Amino acid sequence: MTTIPVTTWSLEQTSPADLLPAAAPDGDVRIVRAEVPSPEFSRFLYASVGGDIRWTDRLGWTYAQWRAHLDRPGVETWVAYDRGTPAGYVELDPQDDGVVEIVYFGLLPAFRGRRIGGHLLAYGTARAWDLADRWPGRKPTRRVWLHTCSKDGEHALANYLRRGFKLFDTRVEEEPEVPAPGPWPGAFPS
């Protein structure tokens, strides 16, 4: 099996003041929280956003695994819509002691390069900072963190840095080279 070097960057914000805004994109772009946990919709977002950039860790999840994850208190999915069509999403996962991880963030391929990503990331990060306001009993957020890697979109790391995230760890590991699965079998021409 062929392996490739994959660089993973871990980034964080430790204060809401770290968040740098992004310009709003042109057109009718709205960001809405998916308040009803839906394994079908979450899997659609995951596969559609990550299909061409090798997101594979959740492809094997069962319906029950998706449901269990989405039903955890504080897990939130915020979806960007362009003229009513899902364009991308950000998934927030609260952890212990006021820490929130941005677990997934990205755009469907057709919506990349239109300034939606910076806007969605800034909005989603702000929602990570005020997550406790929507979930009684949660500690106020004191840290928001995420990781991205060299398999993600080519502008991912730069977008995080422009939104005020600071690098706190870099790792390079060999990983098996896997083809991009696409949003469904056979989606990419051979």
What's the confidence (pLDDT) of residue 106? 94
Task: Check which CATH number belongs to the domain holding 128 and give it.
Answer: 3.40.630.30
Please tell me the distance from the alpha carbon of residue 27 to that of residue 53, in angstroms, as a whole number.
26
Q: Domain total for the chain?
A: 1
* Domain region containing 32: 3-176
Q: Is the pTM of this model over 0.75?
A: yes
The answer to the question of residue 132 being in a domain is yes
pLDDT means over runs of 10, the chain (190 residues): 90 98 93 97 94 86 96 97 97 95 95 94 98 95 96 88 97 84 61
Q: Is residue 78 part of a domain?
A: yes
By C-alpha distance, which of 190, 180, 163, 177 is closest to 49?
180
Domain assignment present for residue 103? The answer is yes
Tokens for 1? 């099996």
Model pLDDT, residue 51:
87
Q: What is the pLDDT of residue 190?
A: 45
Say which residue the tokens 């695994």 belong to.
65
Is residue 34 in some structural domain? yes
